[in-house]
Amino acid sequence: MKLYCSPDLFHLIAQRFLSLRWRLLGWSTPLLILFTLIQAQINANTPTLLVWLAFLILFSGLQLLVFSAFIWFFQQLPSKKEAAKISSEKSKSSSYWFKLYRAVEWCEAVLFFILLPMPTLIFLYAIIVVG
């Protein structure tokens, strides 16, 4: 069975996009600030297209922020370091830490499997339902 949300797969994806982590974070911040500024200008007379543009800016900023956080979380896996320790020394405490790190990584993987598409899906839902 092929898993689509394993920590190892997410680690490989994060390693591939590692050089983009600061750039994504750098773009998400101005987009969220821009949305805040635009939101203050929106009133009842604002054309619908500009309101949707503001929402696009908001959800783009959120998507970049989530993907940047994804890269930060999966750039290194503590369980890999612990596995290297276990192979060099056979101790019970190392095995405990490996299992703990692995459980945390699986929780993060499931969480990001849900969070990664969320801003885009919410924006598409808003377009379908409200638009």
What are the tens digits of pLDDT across the range 44-97? 888 989 999 999 999 999 999 999 999 999 999 999 988 887 777 666 566 888
Q: Which residue has the tokens 């839902």?
A: 125
Q: Quote the CA–CA distance of 32 and 35 in Å, as a whole number.
A: 5
Residue from 79, 31, 75, 76 nearest 57 by CA: 31
Q: What pTM does this model have?
A: 0.86
Determine contact, residues 66/117, Cβ cutoff 8 Å. Answer: no
* 3-class DSSP state of 90: coil
Distances in Å between the Cα of 101 and the Cα atoms of 7, 14, 23, 79, 85 are: 11, 18, 28, 5, 13
